[in-house]
Amino acid sequence: MAAPAPPESMFVIRGSPLALRFYPQGSAVAVDSQICLPDGDEYLTFQRASGGTITYGSGGCNQRADDPTTAADESAGAGSGP
């Protein structure tokens, strides 16, 4: 009988200062984890091991939010490298 696969992980890549105190940059958590942040301008952005990012905001648990570090009209092109 094969062992069950480990849960998919995601890693903290950026966040507000207070949120990073709870989940430091580079921390790994399971994708199905409950991420709870206090009210305010708190956010965390995670990179999924399988690709893609997700940002959670303040005011509850697993509240999806826009990543405040990316502009709404940001587009790829010359000069948009890392």
pLDDT tens per residue, range 69-81: 875 555 444 444 4
Instruction: Please give the full DSSP string across the chain, using - where no structure is assigned.
Output: -PPPPPPPEEEEEEE-HHHHHHS-TT-EEETT---EE-SSS-EEEEEETTS-EEEEESSEESEE---TTS-TT---STT---
**Domain spans, the chain:** 9-64
Residue 82 has pLDDT above 70, yes or no: no
Q: Residue 3: its pLDDT value, please?
A: 73
Q: Residue 35: its pLDDT value, please?
A: 93
Q: What is the pLDDT of residues 31-62, one digit of tens each?
A: 999 999 988 999 999 999 889 999 999 988 99
Global pTM value? 0.76
